[in-house]
Structure 1
Amino acid sequence: MPTDFLATAIESALEAGDFLRRHFGTDIKIEEKFSYDIKIELDKLAQEKITQSILRDYPGHQIIGEEGISGAKESEVCWIVDPLDGTVNFTYGIPHFCISIAVQQSGKTVAGVVYDPIREELFTVSDPGLPKLNGRVIKSSPRSFLSDAVGVIGFSRTKETISKATELFFNLVPKVRKIRFTGSAALDLAYVACGRLDFYIEQQIQIWDIAAGSLLVEKAGGKIITKTIVKGKTFGLKATNGVLNLDFVTFD
């Protein structure tokens, strides 16, 4: 069954990705502005396309997305959707964003897709199964020394989480090769899964940003540690390649 779910997730992600790619670099309608984020009309339109595609195949399922909830709330199968992870990048013309779709059955993630429509990179995973990038099996990096490591620290959206991330940044900079800031949590996780990055740390992140990517990391040999902030919705997250020692990094 996860393979059937994966086929629908792939189809939905590719369709939404084509839609976003065609609108990238055009006039963007900004609907809401926040201190550290924005909302655009294309977020909602992309989620509508994904929702229609999923419910066409599975009308009895539930869909939880960044832009709202659809479908049957009582279903044991729940689709977790971020139609545009990296909205600020997209709006400012930075070609680093993606679509993230995960499928959870009885609370366990069984399939996931992260799709970068600009690079046309499709990360896929199912449980059981192996994680892949455009059909090729991927695995996390073997780097075990902090001095060799390249990773991402996310700065979330609140003054408290930004303060904690800043402290962590200054702690890690002398220890690792490089710290990056990319603007897309799902792609950060996909990059840990395929060995481009060695770690990704976020003080506060939403389930739709990390559901698919976390399964990619785990199945690629990496390690995911989360701290629940709001049950089923918001988490602190530490993702590593599985061999790098970042035990000193905590969410306290």
Structure 2
Amino acid sequence: MTSDAPSTPAHEADPEALAGLAAEIAKSTGLLIRELRAAGVSVAASKSSDVDIVTEADRRAEQAVVEAIRAARPRDGVLGEEGAGIPSESGITWVVDPIDGTVNYLYGLPAYAVSIAATVPDPAAAADGRRAIAGAVYAPPTDELFEAWEGGGARMNGTRIAISGETRLSHTLVGTGFGYTAERRAEQAVMVSRLLPRARDIRRLGSAAFDLCSVACGRLDAYYERGLQPWDYAAGFLILREAGGAILGRDAETPPGEPLIFAGDPALVEELRGVVLGAE
């Protein structure tokens, strides 16, 4: 007896194969948005506030990612920042940010990236209840491809990467980001004021995916942020963990994501969390 149902690929949940697909699509999409940037950027809409923007390139890039994923793996689901929402039939959902760092992209600042992760359900892993088992982040301005799969380590342009290993907060270069509403920014200003006297310095690059990868390769020692969404962190979490980093939520009962994440050396993140939250 034959069936018209699609057969399950032999590599259905093979993290290395999924990472290869994520990397391929991330890079091709990165080349697309770089071409669109050269042709000029058009703001299409705003989201949480007037400064939280969406460009036409965001939408075109997400469409390209979704089409590529569905062509390769038609039974997988997709969750995209710009509205893609396809239920999964295979147990795997791809979490996509077509341009993480859209404001940088608008202004021509070289810190934006395409972030793609293959995830499976895991309530303990992150606030959205998913765990990335493969992922890639591609930064077109620097032509840097970060990729990882569960248990396989993390790489940048094919070379293994690792966190800096810095455990002294006073010697730590910390990345962070700010929200798009006045209320959220006021809260974040208080957090920065607690940390700034204690750390080496603070950087705000404008792309959570790029920040997480920067910690993974040792350019930043640690990172924290409030208000991230799954597409901001899905691939970055995996890449950072596979590079030896630890990621914490607001407290022991809250998985990382919304409302807060803290990332860095396993011996550092608890102290970082305590300082930012005013617990010390």
Structure 2 residue aligned with 1:239:
263
- Provide the residue aligned with 1:91 in structure 2: 106
Aligned to 1:160: 183
How much has 1:111 moved relative to structure 2?
0.5
Alignment of 1:3-82 (within 5 A): 3-33=16-46, 34-82=49-97
* 2:217 match: 194
> 108-117 vs 17-26, which deviates more?
17-26
| 2:170 corresponding residue in structure 1 | 147
RMSD value over aligned CA atoms?
2.1
Deviations 1:133-161 (A, max 9, x none): 11111111121112211111211223332
1: CA distance, partners of 2:257 / 2:71: 26
Deviation at 1:241, TM superposition (A): 2.5
Pick the aligned partner of 2:135 from 100, 112, 121. 112
State the Cα distance separating 1:68 from its structure 2 match.
1.6
CA-CA distance at 1:207 after TM superposition: 0.6
Displacement after TM superposition at 1:242 (Å):
2.3
Q: Is the 8 A contact 2:191 2:277 kept in 1?
A: no
TM-score, normalized by length of structure 2? 0.84
Moved more, 70-79 or 23-32: 70-79
Amino acid at match of 1:194: C
| 1:176-235 deviation digits (Å, cap 9, x = unpaired) | 11111111000000001111101111111111000110111111111101249x999844
Shift of 1:171: 1.2
The aligned residue for residue 180 of structure 1 is 203
Return 5+ residue gaps in structure 2 as ranges.
1-13, 122-129
When residues 63 and 251 of structure 1 are mapped into structure 2, their CA distance, relative to the original with a 3 A threshold, is farther
Q: Matches of 2:16 and 2:257 in 1, distance apart?
A: 25
SS at match of 1:24: helix
Distance 1:99 1:251, change over 3 A: farther
Separation (CA, whole Å) in 2 of partners of 1:4 and 1:235: 32
Greater strand proportion: 1
- Please tell me the residue identity of whatever aligns with 1:84: I
